[in-house]
Amino acid sequence: MVPAAWTGNGCARGSGKAGRACHIALALLALMAAFLSIACLPAWSAEPVKVLDYKMAGDASHMRVVINFDREPEPKWLLLRSPHRLVIDLPDVALALKPEDVKPRGLISSVRYGALGDGVSRLILTPKGPFNVEKIEVLQNEDGSSYRMVADIAAASEREFDAALAIQAETTASTTTAKTDRVGKLALPGDRPFTIVIDPGHGGIDGGAEGLNGTVEKEITLAFSNELKAKLEADGRYKVVLTREGDDFLRLDDRVRIARQNEADLFISIHADTIRLKGIRGATVYTVSDKASDADAQALADRENLSDKLAGVDVVEENHEVADILVDLIRRETHGFSARFARSVVGQLSPTVGMINNPHRSAGFRVLKAPDVPSVLIELGYLSNAKDEEQLRSAEWREKAATSIAKAVSAFVVERGTTGG
Ligand code: ZN
């Protein structure tokens, strides 16, 4: 007998019952095959979900990543450490991104992606140090067919990152939203020491102001910050961190990020600038405000905010948090604390160090914009004034001024009812 495959129709030659039965079976098979191919069509030939575009915006403290998809994606995410990373897995997604869109910026120091197999694409975001995932959500766009995934990431402390990792380990589902309570930090400093971040203004390529006798601001700010750190550490109750310990350039938003990653309870930026009128001298304490207290404060903030541009950093003002009521509440509360601390510094400095008229002033300093960290900027004096310059160069004077500011910190801590330690 000739093998069925050779006969063309798959049936044995001949006639009779066997032949007819074979033809019927074949017809049934053909029907079934046709049915199956229709029924299974979507599974066999489904196009993967396509990425329409990828956007990243924000600064060194907060970043928002938005990815638009042609259909609804089902992301799963998890945190990894060493280094701190956010991994987002996207089943049935073809992840093709433009190199210019994934260029590192703000808090994000690298973006990597690739296929994991089985149609799953993986996106790996590496922020600068520990961070907190504020949310990852998928929303339908107004066109009714496309979707967007929004991921909000904020700089956070090692402790906060560990807490999120612990929650992740407890829950098997990696889609958990491991939220860290942003209000809790202000209300409950908890079992950690009261933390002060001191920010020596300028550094590296940005020298800051220059004195009549050649004193460079970035050197004075670092020398004074070291003095203040020593004074505060001698107290024994505080953790003190400097934003820079050497002659390094730091972006303004990186200074804010360092404050957040250390869970700063207080941020003190140290400066010694110049002013048009050489006769003006004395210290000033600034807090942040949308509207400057006076024209000089505005001019100073404008100059300080230029620091990033001086170093060739592309500065994009991001205000995506403005609409967030919670952040707004925290910001208002923080403003209150900042103003209280500023008054305390003025009170302590006035008897020991000369101050200008109305020594508590305000303007829109970018370095003071952390919404949840009470922040002040202290202008120790003016390098445009010969006497001030001489004082700023004196280790003895710096010691005296640092002692006064340390007293102001102590008074502030007592007033807040936190003893630290
Ligand atoms: Zn300055």
Distance 218 CA to ligand 1 centre (A): 8
Distance 412 CA to ligand 1 centre (A): 25
Distance 269 CA to ligand 1 centre (A): 9
Tell me the C-alpha distance between 347 and 358, whole Å. 12
- Looking at residue 272, its pLDDT comes to 96
Tell me what the mean pLDDT of segment 238-250 comes to.
Answer: 97
Q: Is residue 68, in this structure, part of any structural domain at all?
A: yes
* Same domain? 312 vs 395: yes
* Same domain? 50 vs 26: no
* Same domain? 152 vs 215: no
- Looking at residue 46, its pLDDT comes to 73
47 pLDDT band (50/70/90 cuts)? confident
* Same domain? 170 vs 201: no
* Same domain? 151 vs 274: no
Distance 334 CA to ligand 1 centre (A): 23
- State the CATH number of the domain containing residue 282: 3.40.630.40
Q: Of 264, 267, 223, 214, nearest to 394 (Cα)? A: 223
Distance 87 CA to ligand 1 centre (A): 39
182 pLDDT band (50/70/90 cuts)? very low
* Same domain? 285 vs 196: yes
182 or 196: which leads in pLDDT: 196
- Looking at residue 322, its pLDDT comes to 47
- Looking at residue 185, its pLDDT comes to 39
- Looking at residue 308, its pLDDT comes to 80
Distance 307 CA to ligand 1 centre (A): 9
Residue 318: CA atoms inside 13 Å, Cβ hemisphere, count?
Answer: 18
- Looking at residue 160, its pLDDT comes to 93
* Same domain? 243 vs 358: yes
Q: Is residue 333, in this structure, part of any structural domain at all?
A: yes
Residue 217 has pLDDT above 50, yes or no: yes
Distance 304 CA to ligand 1 centre (A): 6
33 pLDDT band (50/70/90 cuts)? low
- Could you identify the residue written with the tokens 């004196």? 394
Contacts of 373 (CB under 8 A, 6+ apart): 197, 256, 259, 260, 264, 265, 266, 267, 334
Distance 217 CA to ligand 1 centre (A): 7
Q: Which domain holds residue 125?
A: 46-180
Least confident window among 145-149, 223-227, 316-320:
316-320
Q: Is residue 144, in this structure, part of any structural domain at all?
A: yes
- Looking at residue 324, its pLDDT comes to 65
Report the percentage of the chain scoring pLDDT > 90.
68
Distance 392 CA to ligand 1 centre (A): 13
222 pLDDT band (50/70/90 cuts)? very high
* Same domain? 175 vs 208: no
Tell me what the mean pLDDT of segment 184-189 comes to.
Answer: 41
173 pLDDT band (50/70/90 cuts)? very low
* Same domain? 382 vs 405: yes
Distance 303 CA to ligand 1 centre (A): 8
23 pLDDT band (50/70/90 cuts)? low
Tell me the C-alpha distance between 313 and 251, whole Å. 8
Q: Of 185, 181, 240, nearest to 372 (Cα)? A: 185
Q: Is residue 130, in this structure, part of any structural domain at all?
A: yes
Distance 274 CA to ligand 1 centre (A): 8
* Same domain? 335 vs 237: yes
Distance 206 CA to ligand 1 centre (A): 10
Q: Of 351, 375, 202, nearest to 272 (Cα)? A: 202
Distance 202 CA to ligand 1 centre (A): 6
Distance 351 CA to ligand 1 centre (A): 24
Tell me the C-alpha distance between 345 and 406, whole Å. 9
Distance 209 CA to ligand 1 centre (A): 6
Distance 252 CA to ligand 1 centre (A): 12
Report the percentage of the chain scoring pLDDT > 70.
81
9 pLDDT band (50/70/90 cuts)? very low
315 pLDDT band (50/70/90 cuts)? low
- State the CATH number of the domain containing residue 71: 2.60.40.3500
- Looking at residue 180, its pLDDT comes to 36
* Same domain? 131 vs 210: no
284 or 7: which leads in pLDDT: 284
Distance 296 CA to ligand 1 centre (A): 14
Residue 5 has pLDDT above 50, yes or no: no
Distance 388 CA to ligand 1 centre (A): 15
Of 180, 203, 227, the residue that ends a domain is 180
Q: Is residue 421, in this structure, part of any structural domain at all?
A: no
Distance 332 CA to ligand 1 centre (A): 26
Distance 140 CA to ligand 1 centre (A): 46
- Looking at residue 325, its pLDDT comes to 72
Give the burial string for 87-118 (b: 16+ CB within 10 Å, else e).
bbbbeebebeeeeeebeebbbbeebebeeeee
Q: Left if phi > 0, otherwise alpha if psi is -120 to 50, otherwise beta: which for 286?
A: beta
Distance 62 CA to ligand 1 centre (A): 24
Least confident window among 71-85, 127-141, 161-175, 277-291:
161-175
Residue 215 has pLDDT above 60, yes or no: yes
Tell me what the mean pLDDT of segment 76-102 comes to.
Answer: 93
Distance 273 CA to ligand 1 centre (A): 5
Q: Is residue 396, in this structure, part of any structural domain at all?
A: yes
43 pLDDT band (50/70/90 cuts)? very low
- Looking at residue 39, its pLDDT comes to 46
Distance 342 CA to ligand 1 centre (A): 18
Distance 300 CA to ligand 1 centre (A): 8
Q: Is residue 410, in this structure, part of any structural domain at all?
A: yes
Q: Is residue 9, in this structure, part of any structural domain at all?
A: yes
* Same domain? 163 vs 206: no
Distance 288 CA to ligand 1 centre (A): 15
Of 180, 209, 228, the residue that ends a domain is 180
Answering whether pTM is above 0.85, one says no
Render pLDDT for 51-86 as a digit per residue (tens, 0 to 9).
Answer: 999 999 999 999 999 999 999 999 999 999 999 999
- Looking at residue 310, its pLDDT comes to 72
Of 122, 147, 180, the residue that ends a domain is 180
Give, as residue ranges, everything with CB less than 5 Å from ion ligand 1.
201, 208, 271, 273
Distance 6 CA to ligand 1 centre (A): 91
Distance 66 CA to ligand 1 centre (A): 36
Domain count for the chain, please give it: 3
